[in-house]
Structure 1
Amino acid sequence: MQSNYDVIMSLAHLTINPEDVRSNTRDSDPRPAWLEQVAAYVQRAAAEGASVTLTSKQRMLTPDQVAAALGVSRSTISRKIKAGEIHVVKVGNRNRIPYEEFERFWDATMANDAALVGDDIEAEFFGEARESCH
C-alpha cells in the first residue's frame, strides 16, 4: 500500500529533455511519446488532487547570456573561458556554458566578491576605530 508521502514523491517532477522532443518530430504519430508522458503525469496529478506547474530550465547558456547575468562584458567571459575559469562545451564551433557550470562560477564569484568587500562593509558599520584593533 502506498503512503501519502510516496504519492506526493511520485508526482515530484517529470523531466522532458529537448532531444526527446526533437527525436519525435520525425514520427508520424500525432501524439509523440514525450507528450503521452506529460498527459499521463497531468492526469495522475489531477486524480490525486494536485495542481501541475510547467517550467523550463535553460541547460546551456551562451557567453552573452552569462555576461548579462553577471553584469560584465562578453569579453570578460571570453577571458574567463580562455583562462579555464569557466568550462564550456563546444556546440559546433560555438561555446556553450552548461547551466550547472554557470551556477558554480556564480557561487565562486559571489564568495570572492563577499570576501573582497567584507573589510569595507565592516569599516562602514564599525568605523575606523575597529580597523585599528586588527
Structure 2
Amino acid sequence: MTSLTINPEDVRASAGARPAWLEQVAAYVQRAAADGEAVTLTAKRRMMTPEQVADAMGVSRPTISRKIKAGEIRAVKVGNRNRIPYEEFERYWRKTMGDLVELTRDELRDDLFGEQ
C-alpha cells in the first residue's frame, strides 16, 4: 500500500465535524485493514530545499543560499545539502512580509486614502 501524507496546514485549516484529512486517514486505514495490513502512524519534520523556498518566495536559489550563509535563514545539513525546516520557512516568510508591509505602509495608505 502507498503512504499517505497529511500536511500541518491541512489540519490547521480543517473545519466541520469530520474534516477531509481525517476522512483520508480513515479510508487509508480501512483499505489497509481490508488487505490484512497493519498501519503505523509516524510524524516527520517537513523540510524544504533552497530551491523550493526560492520558488515559494519568488526569488532565486542563490539568494536563499546567501541568506542561509548570512544566518538569516536557519538550515540543517543533510549530507552536503542544505534543508530548511518548514517552520523556519514560515518564520522567514512572516518576517519578510512584515518588513515589506512596514516599508510600504505609508505609500499604501496614501494610495488608498490620498495623501494626508
Normalised to the residue count of structure 1, the TM-score between the two structures is 0.54
Query: Hey, what does 1:83 align to over in structure 2?
Result: 70
Q: Percent identity?
A: 58
CA–CA separation in structure 2 for the residues paired with 1:32 and 1:92: 32
| Ranges in structure 2 where 5+ consecutive residues have no aligned partner | 1-16, 23-35
1:109 pairs with 96, 112, 115, which one? Answer: 96
| Ranges in structure 1 where 5+ consecutive residues have no aligned partner | 1-7, 14-29, 39-55
Higher helix share: 1
Q: Provide the aligned length of Structure 1 versus Structure 2.
A: 83
What value does the CA root-mean-square deviation take over the aligned residues?
A: 2.8
Query: Hey, what does 2:48 align to over in structure 1?
Result: 61
CA–CA separation in structure 2 for the residues paired with 1:32 and 1:72: 43
CA–CA separation in structure 1 for the residues paired with 2:107 and 2:39: 57
CA–CA separation in structure 2 for the residues paired with 1:121 and 1:33: 52
Q: Alpha carbons of 1:73 and 1:57: their partners in 2 closer, same or farther (altered >3 Å)?
A: farther
2:57 pairs with 51, 62, 70, which one? Answer: 70
How far 1:127 moved relative to its partner? 2.3
Provide Cα deviations, 1:89-118, integer angstroms capped at 9, x if missing partner: 100000000001001111111111111111
Q: Alpha carbons of 1:84 and 1:64: their partners in 2 closer, same or farther (altered >3 Å)?
A: same
Q: Alpha carbons of 1:100 and 1:78: their partners in 2 closer, same or farther (altered >3 Å)?
A: same
- Between structure 1 and structure 2, the one with the greater Rg is 1
Letter matched to residue 57 of structure 2: L
3-state DSSP of counterpart to 1:120:
helix
After superposing on structure 2, the runs of 4+ consecutive aligned residues of structure 1 that deviate more than 3 Å are 30-33
